[in-house]
Chains A and B, each alone.
Chain A
Amino acid sequence: MIRADELTKHFKVHRRKPGFAAALASVFRRRYEVVRAVENVSFRIERGERVGFLGPNGAGKTTTLKLLAGLLHPTSGAVTVDGYVPSKRPPELLGSITLVMGQKSQLIWDLPPSETYAMNRAIFDVPKAEFDATLAELTELLELGKLVDKPTRQLSLGERMKCELAAALLHRPKTLFLDEPTIGLDVAMQLAIRDFVRRYNQRHEATVLLTSHYMDDVVALCPRILVIDEGKLVHDGDLRQLVKTMDPDKRVSFTLTSEVGADELERLGAVILREGTRVTLRVVEREIPAVVGRLLGPLHVADLAIEDPPLEEILRAMFGKAREERAASEAAEAGGAT
């Protein structure tokens, strides 16, 4: 189980204005600023759960993952993974977790991935028979084939990512921290990796905590999501619940088969998109039966689809709203001070 209580991480960073004079001045007098990367974040994740970590760039997702993996020491608060404190780097814990970072590589550049695997086998002290069995399983699941014997520098980005995943999983970790594992990959490779993560989770009852810029990854893999913004946890729960809370209206998309006036469409719901004959309406949930009846009846539409609003749209609205509220409260405080 992963447990974070009031987890906080602050970084002290040096700030200076651009230009030579500012650079010279900074030699004598430094100005530091405290960046609150993670602020009082608390959550629990049970064994075998698949949890998505969402938030805009710089929200604190990667920092939180690094705190959970023991790479960073918390400024305050507490974190445990399977009962261990990660920052103390207990070998028992390190032998049962893994962190995959889409933008960093652990494969040895000049040698084939098989050499990195041999190194990891020695590091994690994996018995030969178990190592061979795991590698065979990973080779099958990830369709590695002969990739493991090609020098890493000759692999494509997608091939390298698959080999990275294998390197990270050879010791059969029970907890997977995946930080943008599909970044830069094409759609087919994204699907393959997504599918692999789900199967690994089911086969080994592994806990998965995933961050991704691709909402589809999170939607497809994670029933539960944590949303973090400016270091603070702003939502923890079911993905569908978040969608319902933020935007309960449905999206009704269809193709017109005859000319329909704008007024007629506006009466059914708010028009979000109209491109030629393709239309998307925003409709209040309780009015769906009536609207669908009208679309399929007198209006004779084709290709009718009823969907939840896209997650990207919801998050954009969520982060925008949070920022507006903060700006308003700061403005009110400033106004009160004068």
Chain B
Amino acid sequence: MRRYLRLLGVQLRMSVASAMAYRADFLVEGAMSAAWMAVALLPLFVLYGERDTVAGWDAPSALVVLAYFMGVRAVVEGVVNPSLVELVDRIRTGAFDYVLLKPVDAQLLVSGSRYEPWKVLDLLGAAGVAVYAFVLRGHGPEPGHLLVGLALFATGVLAMYALWILCAAASFWVVRLDNLTYLLSAIFDTARWPVQVFRGAWRIVFTFVIPVAVMTTYPAMALLGALDAGTALASAGGALALLGLSRLVWRAAIRSYTSASS
């Protein structure tokens, strides 16, 4: 455990060092972050400009869902995505050999191999949107709800991470998976809306098959104090089950790794 923490520290330090080499990126990323926030908020303002609720959600509550969406996306784009894009490149070039030669868990090693430190601005933006939503509601979340909300944020991130690992594992067999990751990003985009907005089959898909509800809707409901304990547990359990599945698929993928020729 101590080894992994030290490794995490070194990986973070190196990513920050790399990021510092390109200082202009800080300004660009800051501007991009603000722009993305505006783009994310705009549809919500348009939608709620003419009505008070959508599928039982008022504007401040829907803003909390959006805050979770932005938060999960910040973590994915800041940690998961860069690392796994690098992984795919390593598999293609054969540099993944060096990962397998290390006496640490290969999945953990590649999952934190690269960070985009500037994405912390997006995370702060997400927190800002959440605070704004509660200002609109006129009161803050209760401490217990805050705790469950944060715990479900963590499991939501894990669920998204598990989906990325499944995609990355696919690259051991198909090598090019650009389309798969685009599809995953497009599906995740639906997580900006509460799952109740979707009807019929779509709601089932977004709850059980590609569980975007676990990533944003349920955590938001927990923070708002509107989620029962059973659903909270099922949500966390579902995320962990997905994580377990991704681990199994990853291990199978490693076994079939053929290593690019020298």
Taking Cβ atoms with an 8 Å cutoff, the residues of A that contact B are 11, 62, 66, 69-73, 89, 91-95, 97-99, 101-106, 108, 110-111, 115, 118-119, 122-125, 179-180
Residues on B facing A (Cβ under 8 Å): 3, 6-7, 9-11, 14, 17-18, 21, 93-95, 97-98, 100-104, 106, 109, 255, 257-259, 261-262
Chain A-chain B contacts (Cβ-Cβ < 8 Å), number: 76
Q: Within the assembled complex, what's the spacing in Å between the Cα atoms of A194 and B18? A: 34
Partner of B14, one of A92, A105, A119, A179: A119
Report yes or no: B102 in contact with A104, Cβ–Cβ below 8 A: no
Whether the Cβ atoms of B104 and A104 lie closer than 8 Å is no
> Please, which residue of chain B has its CB at the minimum distance from the CB of A119?
B10
Structural contact, A71 and B14, CB atoms closer than 8 A: no
Q: Complex formed: what's the CA distance from A115 to B16 in Å?
A: 12
Min CB gap B119→A, angstroms: 18
The answer to whether B104 and A118 touch across the interface, beta carbons within 8 angstroms, is no
Residues of chain B lying within 8 A (CB to CB) of residue A71: 97, 100-101, 257, 259
Given contacts A11-B258, A62-B262, contact A104 B94 (CB under 8 A): yes
Question: What's the Cα separation between A16 and B105 when bound, in Å?
Answer: 38
Bound-complex Cα distance A90 to B17 (A): 32
Q: In the docked arrangement, what's the CA distance between A118 and B104, Å?
A: 15
Q: When the two chains form their complex, are residues B259 and A94 in contact, meaning their CB atoms are under 8 A apart?
A: no
Tell me, rounded to whole Å, the shortest Cβ–Cβ distance linking B110 to chain A.
12
Report the bound CA distance from A62 to B261 in whole Å: 8
Point out the residues of chain B lying under 8 angstroms from A115, CB to CB: 14, 17
The answer on a CB contact under 8 Å between A180 and B262 is yes
Asked if B11 and A119 sit within 8 Å, CB to CB, the answer is yes
In the complex, residue of chain A having the shortest beta-carbon distance to the beta carbon of B8: A122
Write the nearest CB–CB distance from B17 to chain A, whole angstroms: 7
Return the chain A residue nearest B21 by Cβ: A110
B14 contact set on A, CB distance < 8 A: 108, 111, 115, 118-119
Whole-angstrom distance from the CB of B140 to the nearest CB of chain A? 40
Given contacts A99-B101, A122-B3, A122-B10, contact A66 B95 (CB under 8 A): no
A297 CB to closest chain B CB (Å) equals: 53
List of 3 A-B pairs having minimum Cβ-Cβ separation, nearest first? A91-B103, A94-B103, A106-B98
CB distance from B53 to the nearest CB of A (A): 50
Report the bound CA distance from A95 to B106 in whole Å.
Answer: 14
* Residue pair A105, B95 in contact (C-beta under 8 Å): yes
Tell me the nearest residue of chain B to A92, going by C-beta. B103
For the complex with contacts A72-B259, A99-B97, A101-B97, 11 further pairs of A-B residues with Cβ separation under 8 Å are: A66-B97, A69-B101, A72-B258, A101-B262, A104-B93, A104-B98, A105-B95, A110-B21, A119-B11, A119-B14, A179-B262
Known A-B contacts A66-B97, A89-B100, A111-B18; the reply to A104 vs B10 at CB < 8 A is no
Contact A110–B97 (Cβ < 8 Å) = no
* 18 A-B pairs in the complex with CB atoms less than 8 angstroms apart: A62-B261, A71-B97, A72-B257, A72-B258, A92-B103, A93-B103, A97-B101, A101-B262, A102-B262, A104-B95, A105-B95, A111-B18, A118-B14, A122-B10, A123-B7, A124-B103, A125-B6, A180-B262
User: Which of A89, A93, A98, A108 gathers most chain B CB within 10 Å?
Assistant: A89
